[in-house]
Chain A
Amino acid sequence: MRLGAILLELERVLTKLKFDDSVIGYALITNDGQPFLSFSLPDQVLPQIKGTLKIHREGMKLVNIMTGEGIVVLARVDLKWVLAVLFSPELQLGTALSRTKDVVDLLKEVTLPPPPVLVEEDEPVEEIELVDTSIVAPPPVMEEEELDTIVTEEPAAPEEVNVFHGCVVHRGDRYREAMTLDSVLNKEMKKAYSNLGVDILLTANEKMTVYKIAEHLAKPVERVLDVVRWCVNENIVNVECPDEQEASQKEIIELPLFEGNIDKAKKEHRSVLQLCDGRRTLQEIATELGIPYFQALQSTLPYRGKTLKYIRTDKLTRS
């Protein structure tokens, strides 16, 4: 299972919600109401979500709950996952429902990872008048034995590992084990950091730094650092810190990028502007067209600061 690819796909779909002003928060949740990949969904609405899920169970498709924080819309994604979106109270219910449904339709095309393991629940489920106690049996996806098992092992005390916000997080030898439901390691991680650990491991894509992961999950850098340090100790991930990142042979250069409508540009400028794609220098463009540098420069001048900008980026030095 390529978690990284799944996550990218998920991210693409969920971004729709992230940039919707009427959305306060959202989370993918399991059938028993465990939030996962949550984005600023307040804890206060969880008991009501859990209660509602308990009543409706697998039969639920699309349900709304009125909470003190706003309208929560629950929509089933597949057998194991439910999407919960909290909308601001001002939004019309119909709009909230249809927006959620749009996202769920997209989510259905993504193969979601299996839910993370369950941890012991001590949070009381808010009683809702309709609760019929005869159906409060746990849904089939639950690993029931989990609830009885008492995890006796203490999580290893985080040793001082030199992990910094600028370090890139890579998967380590025990990554798979930590992401495997039921494994002792997974339980320990859950016990120590609840869902944040899994979220971080899912987000780490071999390219992101600790800071970027924190930014992505909207969590404080310090908390993410704690988890990553713990994971480094457990050999779940390893980090590539700035002192291992090579620096030589790089150079920051300016590359012209034309973003305007080429048809509106003067005819004699078009050949140069067409090559201003943010990937070659002006000198390279001039060479490619067989014209003097100064002529290429003059073709860009009328657009500079308007539809043509220079991006400065690191490139391998041509040697």
Chain B
Amino acid sequence: MGVKGKLGWTLKTEKVSKVLFQASYRELMNLLMSTSDNVNEINHKMIDIGFRVGETLLMDYADKIREHAVSFDQFAKTLQLAYKVNSGQEFTSIYISDDKKTIKFTDADCPICEGVVISDMPGLQYCALVSGVFNAVMKLRGFTADSFQESCKALGDGACTWTLILKE
């Protein structure tokens, strides 16, 4: 029996310094900005990076997750757990549409965007890495889903929202 909950987070989960993570992420973004022609390209590159990160995470966690999600909407729970394990906090809210084909994850306090204020690139998805991770989980678990970042706190929105839409 593994250690769960707060104790699990304190004792078992490996952590990295937030300052180190945020600074690395920011410089990764700076590199993308200087090597891309437009904002869309940055978003796509960041989602691609997130995809690869997601592959690694899924490999790492596949044997630790006890109950794997079976239907699309059950990923709301799986991804909540994954987010908690990797960020130390939960989504502020999760919305599942009535037809269970759209899931929106919202964090009003996204650690990637913390303290970042971007005024000049309206379509930038600063923390789109998370969408990329979701993409990987969907694809590797055999679901065809669109994943994109709908709002972003770094761009002045109220919260960060990552949307998953099931395609059939």
- Asked if A314 is at the interface of the complex by the 8 Å CB criterion, the answer is yes
CA distance A299 to B119 in the complex (A): 28
| Size bracket, chain A contacts | 20 to 34
Among A168, A246, A249, max chain B CB count under 10 A is at A246
Given contacts A166-B122, A247-B121, A313-B119, 5 further A-B contacts (CB under 8 A): A212-B122, A246-B39, A247-B41, A309-B115, A317-B34
A314 touches B43 (CB 8 A): no
Contacts of B34 in A (CB 8 A): 248-249, 251, 317
- B125 CB → nearest A CB, Å: 7
- Asked if A310 is at the interface of the complex by the 8 Å CB criterion, the answer is yes
A313 touches B117 (CB 8 A): yes
A242 touches B39 (CB 8 A): yes
Contacts of A36 in B (CB 8 A): none
B122 touches A207 (CB 8 A): yes
| Interchain residue pairs with CB less than 8 A apart (13) | A164-B123, A208-B122, A215-B151, A241-B40, A241-B123, A242-B39, A243-B38, A244-B38, A245-B123, A246-B38, A251-B33, A313-B119, A317-B34
As a 0/1 sequence over residues 105 to 117 of chain B, the CB contacts with chain A under 8 angstroms (1 = contact) are 0000000000111
Contacts of A207 in B (CB 8 A): 122
- A281 CB → nearest B CB, Å: 14
CA distance A80 to B163 in the complex (A): 42
CA distance A250 to B118 in the complex (A): 10
- Asked if A312 is at the interface of the complex by the 8 Å CB criterion, the answer is yes
Q: Which 8 A-B pairs have the closest CB atoms?
A: A242-B123, A166-B123, A243-B40, A242-B39, A242-B40, A245-B39, A312-B116, A313-B117
- B43 CB → nearest A CB, Å: 6
B150 touches A247 (CB 8 A): no
- A125 CB → nearest B CB, Å: 33
Contacts of B40 in A (CB 8 A): 241-243, 245
Interface of B with A (CB < 8 Å)? 26, 29-30, 33-34, 36-43, 115-125, 148, 150-151, 156-158
Among A164, A221, A309, A313, which residue has its beta carbon within 8 angstroms of that of B118? Answer: A313
A211 touches B38 (CB 8 A): no
CA distance A242 to B118 in the complex (A): 14
A211 touches B151 (CB 8 A): yes
B41 touches A211 (CB 8 A): no
Assuming the contacts A215-B158, A245-B123, asked whether A311 and B38 have C-beta atoms less than 8 A apart, the reply is no
Contacts of B151 in A (CB 8 A): 165, 211, 215
A242 touches B30 (CB 8 A): no
B123 touches A250 (CB 8 A): no
Contacts of B125 in A (CB 8 A): 166
- Asked if A209 is at the interface of the complex by the 8 Å CB criterion, the answer is yes
B38 touches A312 (CB 8 A): no
Task: Give the contacts of A192-230 with B (CB-CB under 8 A).
Answer: 207-209, 211-212, 215, 221
B116 touches A250 (CB 8 A): no
B37 touches A247 (CB 8 A): yes
Contacts of B118 in A (CB 8 A): 252, 313-314
Contacts of A209 in B (CB 8 A): 122-123
B122 touches A243 (CB 8 A): no
As a 0/1 sequence over residues 283 to 319 of chain A, the CB contacts with chain B under 8 angstroms (1 = contact) are 0000000000000000000000000011111100100
CA distance A245 to B118 in the complex (A): 14
CA distance A204 to B39 in the complex (A): 21
- Asked if A97 is at the interface of the complex by the 8 Å CB criterion, the answer is no
Among A211, A247, A311, which residue has its beta carbon within 8 angstroms of that of B36? Answer: A247
Residue of B nearest to A167 (CB): B123
Residue of B nearest to A278 (CB): B117
CA distance A4 to B41 in the complex (A): 31
B115 touches A250 (CB 8 A): no
A245 touches B121 (CB 8 A): yes
Contacts of A313 in B (CB 8 A): 116-119
- A50 CB → nearest B CB, Å: 32
- A163 CB → nearest B CB, Å: 12
- A258 CB → nearest B CB, Å: 15
Task: Give the contacts of A160-209 with B (CB-CB under 8 A).
Answer: 164-168, 207-209
